[in-house]
Amino acid sequence: MNLSHAIQNPIFKLISNVVTLKKQQTFVIGGFVRDFLLDRSKVKDIDIVTEGSGIDLALSIAEELQSKPKVSIFKRFGTAMIHIKDYDVEFVGARKESYSFDSRKPFVEKGTIEDDQNRRDFTINTLAICLNEENFGELVDPFNGLDDLKRKIIRTPLDPEITYSDDPLRMIRAIRFATQLNFTIETSSFLAIKENAERFDILSKERITDEFNKIMMSSQPSIGLKLLYETKLLRRFLPELTDLQGIEEIEGQKHKDNFFHTLEVVDNISKTTSNLWLRWAALLHDIGKARTKKFDKKLGWTFHSHEFVGSKMILSIFKRLKLPLGDPLKYVQKLVHNSSRPISLITDDASDSALRRLLFDMGDDIEDLFLLCKADITTKNIKKQKRFKQNFDYVEEKIKEVEQKDKIRNFQPPITGHDIMEAFEILEGKQIGTIKEAIKEGILEGTIKNDYKNSYNYMLQLGKKLNLKRKN
């Protein structure tokens, strides 16, 4: 098959001219070819493999370009990168690899295009298009990767037992591709992943998390989450999630399977947001239920304070998985901790104070909290779905009314510590904090309006009660 129409970009013609003169067999391979054949969105990353030095080839290409772009060289990996217009073009020499049992880092030596295709993870990623003039556009497909694309199959080019044992990262990559492309993992390959699950432990958490986040950012993350669960990989790096699986029954009373409920919530939230950390909040929103589950003869199954317990568990999860410990961590913790609060505000007699406090605690994340609450509706009863959603819409509307009236979102106290020191004969200390906290509570409770004049007068009253002297 000739795919010269896939490589009409002038980049490929330039590479072809150079490698033809050098008599150096060169191919575009991997994701660019795969995604072109799948008619996916335009690819910006182009992988070039050559039977020779990829670095030398990149330098030669850069010399031929009028812009004389910078060549980023990675000697350790034998690769070089050039940014050409909107494309990142990576050049690498064809190689063959061998592995030791205790590491996924291979011993590498120079090889042919056949060697390079043999070492690749899946048949759909072995597809290569020749760039040399005599065979320009010819598809090189020794493992029937084109057929696997048509059949929507994830399959390894060599024995899957060897492929996954050599580099266990390929196990989660198989699941990631199956999720992103909505493909099926071939049976022998799927079984090999299960058999080699223990090999997963030699991987760095950063590499696992990178692949896992790509699964989380797919249009339907539950596909990958189920595969990770079925292959027993998920329990090896996120056991807190698999601990939610199962249904217990006592005295005829059951609770829902909180693991599969969570997968539904993640899919629901993924329809409304591309915010990775909001999707993580959905993934972890019930994480505390395994530790708080109890059976009460009067109440049935309870999960008291699971939101609080879950929010405390998130720090150790983020640390273990090498996830960022700054704003993303705090954001996910806040959403999980407050995930059940809007439910208690559904009644007509919910106080404005409770609404103000929720808005105060959530700030600009209040809309994300309601997205999470609505995603948490997984009942299959259409009438219940509609009623629950309307309840949250009702609370959202009440919060908007309170915000318009009281301006609580991202609350900044109208009275500062400097104002207090200016009004009374005191320096920095405990009394200033006491007064500021009392003003904040007064505003949240609705005792005083959220403005400077009312807050200042309230401050004077507080100072009098604390026997503070006014400055002359």
**Beta strands 249-250 and 184-185, pairing class:** unpaired
Does the structure show a pLDDT above 70 at 107? no
CA angle 47, 50, 54 (to 5 degrees): 75
Of 338, 346, 357, give the one whose Cα is nearest residue 395.
346
- Residues 163, 122 share a domain: no
In a domain, 356, yes or no: no
pTM assigned to the model: 0.86
Among 237, 253, 275, identify where a domain stops: 237
In a domain, 395, yes or no: no
Nearby residues of 412 by Cβ (< 8 Å), 6 or more positions away: none
* Residue written as token pair 């003169």: 21
Compute the Cα dihedral for 327, 332, 336, 338 and give only its sign: positive
Does the structure show a pLDDT above 70 at 184? yes
- Residues 173, 137 share a domain: no
- Residues 190, 106 share a domain: no
- Residues 123, 216 share a domain: no
- Residues 13, 77 share a domain: yes
- Residues 95, 221 share a domain: no
In a domain, 383, yes or no: no
Token pair in block for residue 43: 């690819």
pLDDT-derived band at 108, boundaries 50, 70, 90: low
In a domain, 457, yes or no: yes
In this prediction, residue 102 carries a pLDDT of 60
- Mean pLDDT of the region 196-219: 95
In this prediction, residue 99 carries a pLDDT of 54
Q: How many CB atoms lie within 10 A of CB 383?
A: 8
- Residues 145, 21 share a domain: yes
pLDDT-derived band at 287, boundaries 50, 70, 90: very high
Residue 458 belongs to what domain range? 417-465
Instruction: Give me the number of domains the chain comprises.
Output: 3
Give residue-wise pLDDT tens across range 185-205: 999 999 999 999 999 999 999
Give residue-wise pLDDT tens across range 49-58: 999 899 999 9
In this prediction, residue 17 carries a pLDDT of 92
- Residues 182, 94 share a domain: no
- Residues 105, 28 share a domain: yes
Give residue-wise pLDDT tens across range 378-401: 989 899 889 888 888 888 888 888
In this prediction, residue 319 carries a pLDDT of 97
Give residue-wise pLDDT tens across range 36-84: 999 886 778 999 999 989 999 999 999 888 888 899 998 877 899 999 8
- Residues 165, 209 share a domain: yes
Give residue-wise pLDDT tens across range 411-464: 777 888 888 888 887 777 788 888 988 998 888 888 888 889 998 999 899 888
- Residues 211, 84 share a domain: no
- Residues 158, 78 share a domain: no
In a domain, 111, yes or no: yes
- Top-confidence residue, 469 or 143: 143
CATH of the domain at 104: 3.30.460.10
In this prediction, residue 348 carries a pLDDT of 65
pLDDT-derived band at 106, boundaries 50, 70, 90: low
In this prediction, residue 100 carries a pLDDT of 57
